[in-house]
Structure 1
Amino acid sequence: NEYTRFSYFEKRDLWYGDRLYDASEFDVYVMAGLPLAGKDTYISEELAGFPVVSLDDIRAEMGIRPDEPSGPVAAEARERAKAYLRAKTPFVWNATNLILDNRQKVCRMCAAYGARVNLKYLEMPYAEILKRNMIRDRSVPVDVINRMIHKMDMAECVEAYRTNYLAGGTQR
C-alpha cells in the first residue's frame, strides 16, 4: 500500500515484504515547482476551500524581500502548519520546495502528526515561465529562476504518500 511504500523509503528499516497498517488520519498537500509553474492556480482550482500556508504570503506579511534571509518566514510557516496538524485539519503547504532536503523536512513534520502527505509537483516549459514572468506583478529575476533550475532536485514518487506530476497543466 502507499503508506508502506512511503514508510519503507522514509525509514529504511522495514523488510521489503512488510505491509503496514495505515494509521494516517487526514491529507496535507505539499506543492512543489518553480515560480510561475501554476501552483497558486492549481490550489485555487483543485484545492479550493483548504487553508493554505504560503511562504510567499508570509514573506509579504512580514515585509521580508525575497533576497533577504527566509529563516523567520520558514519558522512562521512551520508554526502555522503545526496548528493545522495538531487539529488534524487538512491544508496546503505552498512553496517552491525545489530542494529535496526542504521537502523531506515538510513531509516528515506532517507525517509525524498522522497526515497523508500528497506531493503535487508542477512543471511548465521554460519559455512559458518566462512569458508569465513578464506579465506578473511581482516578477522574478531571470537569473534567480535559472539558479533555481540548476539547484532543484526532481521530486521522486517515494518522497510522499502520493506524488502527482503536473506538467504543462496535465496530471500524471
Structure 2
Amino acid sequence: MNEQDIRALCPTGPGGGYDWADCCEVFPRLRALETTPQSPRYHAEGNVGIHTRMVLDALLASSEFQSAQGERREGLFLAALLHDLCKPETTVVDPVSGEIGQPGHSRRGAVDVRALLWRAGLPFALRESVCRIVAAHQVPFFAFDSRRGETPEFIARRLSWGVELRDLVCVARADMQGRICVDQQARLDDIALFEQLAREDGCWDRPREFASAHTRLAYARGAAVHLDTPLFQPPGSAVTVLSGLPASGKDTWVAHHAPGLPVVSFDDAKAELGLRHGENDGMAAHHAVDKAKALLRRHEPFVWNATHLSDQMRRKTLDLLFAYDAQVTLVYLEVPATQLFQRNAKRDTTLRQKDLERMLHRWEVPLPWEAHEVRYEVMAGEVSARRD
C-alpha cells in the first residue's frame, strides 16, 4: 500500500464510481467488515461491509462530494470508506439480550487509520482531515442529545477548531443515509439542524472566531466564558510542550530552539534514577512532575519533553500547567515511518522496535484547541514542513 494506490481509489470526474475489490486490495482490513454483524435496530441492512458500500454510494450521490476537488474530495472519500474500519475489533454481543454494539469504534478507528495512512506516506493535512472525521463521524447525529451534557453550540465550535464541519456533516449524512433504521429521518433532521446551527454561528466552513487564544482555550476546556470577550490571563510560566513518537526529533528540537532553557523529561528522569524503558514509570513521572512544579511556582519558562502521544497523556500534563496559569505552546513533531524506525534502530535507547510499534495503537495527534498555540512541524522525506 502506498500513497498513489490510496489516491487512485477516489472517483474522479462527474459520475465516477469506485471499485470495492480495489478498496479491499489496498486496505485488506476492509474484508473483515463483510463478516461483522451490526445491531438490526440501527443497521437492518446487514453487515458492516454492506453498510460501508451504501455510505459510499450516498456520498458519491451528494452534491457536496460532486463539487469537491483535489485533496478535499479524496479526504471525504477516504473518511467514508474507513469510518467503520475498527468495528470488527470493537464488536461486543450482550450474552443475555443478544444486542450487538461496537463501543469506541470511532476513536479507535481514527488511531488505526492514522497509522495506516502514515505508513503509506499520505500527506499530513489530508491524513489528519480523514482521521478527525473518522473520530467524530457520529457526533452530528447526537449533538442535540449529548451524553456529556454539552450544548450543540459548544460541540460545533470546538469541533470547528479541528475539522471542517461541512466535511464532517457530509460524511455523517452519508453514514445515516447508508443504512436502514427506524429513526433514520429523525437523525437526518438532527444533522440538518446541526448544519444550520454551524452556519448561523459562523463555523460552518471556518473555525469559530474568538477574542483571544486564552479565551478559546478556556472555552474549549469547559469554562463558562463568552468567546467574543477577552479573558484575563494571570501571569505564569511560558511552557513549550513537545509531542510526538519516539525518534521524531524532540531532543534535536530542544537543542535548536530552546538552548539554555530548563527541560522536564521523563527520559531524563529515568536516566537520573537508573531506570530502563517501561521500568517503574511512576517513579520517573513523579520525579519529572516535581521538577515542573518547582519551575511553575517560580514562573520560569521551560520545555516539557515527552511523547505526550495520547489525549489522556497530554491532558495530565496540560491540566497541571493550566492549574499554574502557564502560557502553553504545544509543538507536535513527526517524521515519515521509514525514517522513524531507522532512527530508533540507530539510537542509544532501550526502546525496542516492537515497543514502538505498540505505541502506534494510542497515537492521537494534538488538536488545535488543546493549548494557547499548537504548532505542527512535520517532515516529509528530507523536507520539514511547518504548519501553524
Q: Give the TM interval when normalised to the shorter protein.
A: over 0.9
Task: Identify the match of residue 366 of structure 2 among 146, 152, 155.
Answer: 155
> Would you say 1:120 and 2:334 are equivalent positions?
no
Task: Please tell me the residue identity of whatever aligns with 1:59.
Answer: K
- Would you tell me which structure has more strand in proportion to its own residues? 1
* Partner of residue 57 from structure 1, selected from 255, 262, 268: 268
Partner amino acid, structure 2, of 1:77? A
Opposite residue 311 of structure 2, the aligned amino acid is L
Report how far residue 140 of structure 1 moved: 2.6
Output the CA distance in 2 between the equivalents of 1:140 and 1:75: 21
Question: How many residues are matched?
Answer: 172
- Structure 2 letter corresponding to 1:91: F
Higher RCO structure, 1 or 2 (CA under 8 Å, sep 6+):
1
- Compute the displacement of 1:149 (Å): 1.2
Q: 1:59-91 CA deviation, whole Å, 9 max, x = no partner?
A: 011111112231111111110000000000000
Root mean square deviation of aligned Cα: 1.4
TM-score of the aligned structures, taking structure 2 as reference length: 0.43
User: Where does structure 1 lack aligned partners over 5 or more consecutive residues?
Assistant: none
Normalised by the length of structure 1, the TM-score is: 0.93
Deviation for aligned residue 1:108: 1.7
- Contact 1:53/1:91 (<8 A) preserved: yes
Write out aligned runs for 1:13-24 (5 A).
13-24=224-235
Match of 1:102 in 2: 313
- Deviations 1:75-126 (Å, cap 9, x if unpaired)? 1111000000000000011111101112112112112212101111101111
Task: Indicate whether 1:93 and 2:308 are aligned.
Answer: no
Structure 1 contact 133–139 (Cα < 8 Å) conserved: no
Letter in 2 for 1:170: A
- Between structures 1 and 2, the one with greater helix share: 2
Task: Spell out structure 1 runs of 4+ moving beyond 4 A.
Answer: none
Indicate the residue corresponding to 1:170 in structure 2: 385
Structure 1 CA distance, aligned partners of 2:235 and 2:221? 15
Q: Which moved more, 1:13-22 or 1:79-88?
A: 13-22
Q: CA deviation at 1:134?
A: 2.2
Of 330, 335, 340, 1:129 maps to: 340
Instruction: Please give the secondary structure, in 2, of the residue aligned with 1:170.
Output: strand
Tell me the CA shift for residue 22 of structure 1.
2.8
DSSP 3-state at the match of 1:11: coil
**Bigger-Rg structure (1/2):** 2
1:11-50 equivalences in 2 (<5 Å): 11-50=222-261
Check if 1:77 corresponds to 2:292. no
Distance in 1 between residues matched to 2:269 and 2:237, nearest whole Å: 24
Identify the range of structure 1 (37-46 vs 103-112) with the bigger mean alpha-carbon deviation: 103-112
Q: CA deviation at 1:152?
A: 1.4
In structure 1, the residue corresponding to 2:256 is in which secondary structure?
helix
SS of the aligned residue for 2:357 comes to helix
